[in-house]
Structure 1
Amino acid sequence: MSKGTCSSLMSGVSGIGTVNSLINTLLVAQLVFCGPSLVQNFLCEISPDLATSCSSTDLSEITVYMADIILGTGSFLLVILSYCLIIITILKIQGSAGKWKAFSTCSSYLAIVGLFYSTIIYTYTQPTSTPLEKKNKTVSIIYTLVTPTLNPLIYSLHNKVIKVAFWEIVPFPKTN
């Protein structure tokens, strides 16, 4: 990948994230809050904030759902497209051993991507009318902590030097 392409991708993602956050912040800033200010969530997300508002949140809810659909579906489709291209490339590899190694490497990445997107979909497709106490906080922990932690671990465990260092650190019972 060229530096220009990399810079364009980074700028695009940063710009989209900034615009999305700015719109949500401006919409929430216009709301009137009354009643309990305790939000039962681990993350600073817009849905729990909307649930504590006494004023109409219709515009904010529509904006959030549209952003979730557009940004979430867009990123999901790009990931699927990239994995389709990877699979096409793998199928061109001569010999079953090379294909097997490539597919085994890809399967661990696909498992992490599946875990990430399934928890995101579960979290963001719940209606705001669902009581906050009933939303599963464990799912939020999975997509914010577990997935980002597993991703570099999986990448590094495919490196032979890291594997050797890992098995030197991890004590395991010796067999006689």
Structure 2
Amino acid sequence: MISSVTHFILLGFPTSREIRMAYFMMFSVIYMLTLMGNAAIVCAVRWDRHLHTPMYIFLGNFSFLEICYVSTTVPNMLSNFLSESKTITFVGCFVQFYFFFSFGCDEGFYLCIMAFDRYLAICRPLHYPTIMTTYLCTSLVIFGWSGGLILFLIPVVLISQLPYCGPNIIDHFICDPVPLMSLSCSQDHTTKLIYSTFNVIFMVGTFIFILISYALVILSVLRIPTAAGKRKAFSTCASHLAVVILFFGSVMAMYVRPGSEQPVKFQKVVTLFYSVITPLLNPMIYSLRNKDMKAALKKVVVTKKTSQN
């Protein structure tokens, strides 16, 4: 059956024009700070040779991924604050759906990669240079970027092939798969089952992998004889764990349970948290708890000021 719907309407946050303007200003500032914070980390890793190690290479790629991730939804959300129509084309909706969730999936993979890297560095320090070779590091970076882009083709293609006859109003600020499937003319339980299974396997699988990695790291750290050594090891892992909790906590609350059972406002608030707030907090978490990163960021600022003068 061919869909008759050519566009969707993203309701976003229906309220008065004055409040929408306030939202526009607030989220514009958040978006700019997110871009600046993550771009600063990318530049620091790129320009400071002391950070040309696997841990910081992964962090630099993760920060660039955050820029891509937040840019798939926030510009359109900002546009809708100023627009009365709030429309998005059928193709545009599924393109946003694909890249937003693909990059989100890639974030999960990168958190696994960084957890694996910390496990090797702390639990297998003598073998770390021989295991984490340039080839393996490059392969992990490629996998971190391509994994989600490849895997999420399946649910996007399945959901886009559903018949859409109207209505076309999505009570959300992004093209989320749950309200999209609810707008379909047919109740395709197979597609819903495949999508739900995909989410559960990916999120639970990656989360368990990360938990096991850090459990082994903690056990190894506890065996370090000196207090200074323990503090250094815990400090290295603390920022990673904070980001893991922020990302997986909000995403699991949203997608592991059936979305239809959750209030619309809850879905919007949780999605807003992991799609907008978390990318803003991540650079702060990594830079504030890492002396090497703070030193590199200072060099970037000084170099920029010098070049301007």
Q: 1:136 to 1:92 in 2, by over 3 A?
A: same
The normalised TM-score by structure 2 is 0.47
Q: 1:39 to 1:150 in 2, by over 3 A?
A: same
Q: 1:56 to 1:111 in 2, by over 3 A?
A: same
Q: 1:13 to 1:150 in 2, by over 3 A?
A: same
Q: How far apart are the structure 2 equivalents of 1:36 and 1:63?
A: 24
Superposition CA RMSD, Å: 2.6
SS in 2 for 1:41: coil
Pairwise mapping of residues 1-176 of structure 1 onto structure 2 (< 5 A)? 1-130=132-261, 133-157=264-288, 158-159=290-291, 162=294
Q: 1:161 to 1:144 in 2, by over 3 A?
A: closer
Q: Give 1:108 shift.
A: 4.2
Question: How many equivalent residue pairs?
Answer: 165
Q: 1:65 to 1:25 in 2, by over 3 A?
A: same
Q: Give 1:154 shift.
A: 1.7
The normalised TM-score by structure 1 is 0.77
- Higher relative contact order (CA closer than 8 Å, sequence separation 6+): 2
Q: Give 1:52 shift.
A: 0.9
Q: How far apart are the structure 2 equivalents of 1:27 and 1:70?
A: 18
Q: How far apart are the structure 2 equivalents of 1:73 and 1:126?
A: 12
**Conserved? CA contact 1:112–1:151, under 8 Å:** yes
**Conserved? CA contact 1:48–1:132, under 8 Å:** no
Q: How far apart are the structure 2 equivalents of 1:134 and 1:145?
A: 16
Segment of structure 1 superposing worse, 49-58 or 153-162? 153-162
Q: Give 1:50 shift.
A: 0.3
Specify the alignment match of 2:88 in structure 1. Answer: none
